[in-house]
Amino acid sequence: MRRSVDEIKRMTQWFCDGKYGVMMHFLGDYRGSDEEWNARVDAFDCEGLAKQLHEIGANHYLFTICQHGGRFPFPNKAIEEYCREYGIDKQVCSKRDLVADLYDALSKYDIKLMLYTAFGNPCAGEMVNVFDFKPKKGHTEKSKTRWLNLLREVSLRYGDKVKGWWVDGCYSFYPEFATPDTQFQKDFEEALRAGNPDTIIAFNPGIVVKNNSIYEQYTCGESNEWCAYPEDRIIDGVQWHVLTYLGPWWTDRVCAHSTKELVNYSKACFDKEGVLTFDVAFDEHGLIQPEHFEQLMVLKHFIREVDSFNQDEIPESQSYLDAMATIEEPDAIPEGLINIALNKPCYSASDFNEKMKPGLAVDGDVSTFWAQGDDPGEAYWMVDLEKEYDIAALEVVIRDFNNGERRNFEFRASNDKEFGEYEVLLTQGDFPYPMRKNWAKVYEKPIRARYVKFVSIGRWHYQCLSEVRVFVKQ
């Protein structure tokens, strides 16, 4: 049964009053050894982090207790038993109870502890068998029972120390979240609320700010750019909230936004009683990296310490300025050139699904796109121009959706389909190209080639192409 707006406001009042907090993806896709895992957990400086969070004025701290790698930052005999059933001889649970230690440190400053989990984690590697979750299909009876029993035990162990839960991967293609009111959602809520009936819960539907279930009290609000603003504190019956990142991507260290943008965006959200959570980069001791710490100290000053300010009073982040200096402005494509790539044969290493095939990147429609598959190996896309041309310019359109798709790639040209030798047409490094801008490069000396290839370089990300235009003279 959906709670009344008055009840939602009561449960989320501490969240709304606190305005903003911090998240850390402590686990991610961690794949280290048992010794490295316990050393990583033991090195986490809870007291030092709590002091930092207090200094930046954070109201809450969101911490991952499990992600794709299948490790857990606390002891748990049941999980170890499950692993032994399948002959998994590794210590997936840490010896240290990091969650308990975090609470003890945070509570000295009245900073609220929130936990990140997922609808079906862990859903990768050998841990898939342990919980029997089926990626892109959903829960089996076995996986549902085991996963909810684990989360119920975690909730009971920590009780009212856990003020909120952020549940990832609750997408509408899973039958459990095909509608906003299913028995599974009710069971999930009951498991998370077993130790604290007033804990607040959100089920993430993807990159959108909306209510996803009658059993949640705030929006997950996953956002890749700062364009969502609240009209009011309550949206679709729950507290408005956005989770986003200060870096170019989750856990990245560089400042991807100007400090002025950070302050102004935050103030606009807080003026309407919205709540923000910022993912930050952290070091081997769990401490916030200095680039993000400095930006959040500025945010604290202009949000919590002054009543009014002028825009020129907001100091800029040197990290942001250095990153922006690496971005090239797009060239203007001259008149008289034609796009020779239109509707030519295309190939790729993998495709996300049948609706995202490689030919969609040269179909002349920017609303369609190719996207790579789940395999985190080499990602490439290639167009065969069917004969050699003197390439005069290249224009690339990538959907305005995800910063991860706007970096760490290269376009290459060659007459050899295997690309034993090639010339580089365009490179984008670790800092993402700004949203709502297309790459465009005009070449002083035309590059003769038959094949144009897009390859992923550096840190792996899902890659996506809306439209690739290869221009030649008429």
Average pLDDT over residues 129-153: 82
The conformational region for residue 203 under phi > 0 = left, psi -120 to 50 = alpha, else beta, is beta
Give the tokens for residue 281: 């980069």
pLDDT tier for residue 404 given thresholds of 50, 70 and 90: low
Q: If you write DSSP's letter for every residue of 78-104 in order, what string do you get?
A: HHHHHHHHTT--S--B-SS-HHHHHHH
Q: Are 386 and 344 in contact (CB under 8 A)?
A: yes
CA 170 – CA 457 distance, rounded (Å): 30
| pLDDT for position 474 | 84
| pLDDT for position 122 | 65
Least confident of 16-25, 258-267, 406-415: 406-415
CA 459 – CA 408 distance, rounded (Å): 7
Q: Is the pLDDT of residue 467 over 90?
A: yes
Report the DSSP beta bridge partners of residue 347: 382
pLDDT tier for residue 224 given thresholds of 50, 70 and 90: confident
DSSP state of 301: I
| pLDDT for position 204 | 96
**Average per-residue pLDDT for the chain:** 91
- Strands 241-245 and 467-473, by their bridges, are unpaired
pLDDT tier for residue 436 given thresholds of 50, 70 and 90: confident
| pLDDT for position 400 | 61
Q: Which residue has the higher pLDDT, 265 or 121?
A: 265
Q: Which residue has the higher pLDDT, 83 or 49?
A: 49
| pLDDT for position 33 | 80
List, for residues 292-344, the tens digit of each pLDDT value. Answer: 999 999 999 999 999 999 999 999 999 999 988 888 889 999 999 999 999 99
List, for residues 149-170, the tens digit of each pLDDT value. Answer: 989 999 999 999 999 999 998 9
pLDDT tier for residue 376 given thresholds of 50, 70 and 90: low
CA 465 – CA 261 distance, rounded (Å): 28
Least confident of 182-186, 197-201, 218-222, 253-257: 253-257
List, for residues 274-288, the tens digit of each pLDDT value. Answer: 999 999 999 999 999
* Residue type for position 356: M
Burial category of 326 from C-beta neighbours within 10 Å (exposed 0-12, middle 13-18, buried 19 and up): exposed
| pLDDT for position 88 | 78
pLDDT tier for residue 405 given thresholds of 50, 70 and 90: low
Q: Which residue has the higher pLDDT, 409 or 462?
A: 409
Average pLDDT over residues 25-30: 76
| In the block, residue with structure tokens 């807080």 | 270
| pLDDT for position 138 | 77
pLDDT tier for residue 13 given thresholds of 50, 70 and 90: very high
- Cα–Cα distances (Å) from 53 to 62, 92, 199, 315, in that order, read 11, 28, 21, 21
User: Exposed e or buried b for every residue in 31-47, given b needs 16+ CB within 10 A?
Assistant: eeeeeebbebbeebbbe
Percent pLDDT > 70 in the chain is: 93
Q: Is the pLDDT of residue 408 over 70?
A: yes
| pLDDT for position 377 | 61
| pLDDT for position 432 | 79
Percent pLDDT > 90 in the chain is: 68
Q: Are 300 and 56 in contact (CB under 8 A)?
A: yes
Q: If you write DSSP's letter for every residue of 27-67 in order, what string do you get?
A: STT----HHHHHHHHHT--HHHHHHHHHHTT-SEEEEES--
pLDDT tier for residue 107 given thresholds of 50, 70 and 90: very high
Average pLDDT over residues 398-425: 85
List, for residues 339-375, the tens digit of each pLDDT value. Answer: 999 999 999 998 888 889 999 999 999 989 998 886 6
pTM, to two decimals: 0.87
CA 434 – CA 253 distance, rounded (Å): 17
List, for residues 417-432, the tens digit of each pLDDT value. Answer: 999 999 999 998 878 7
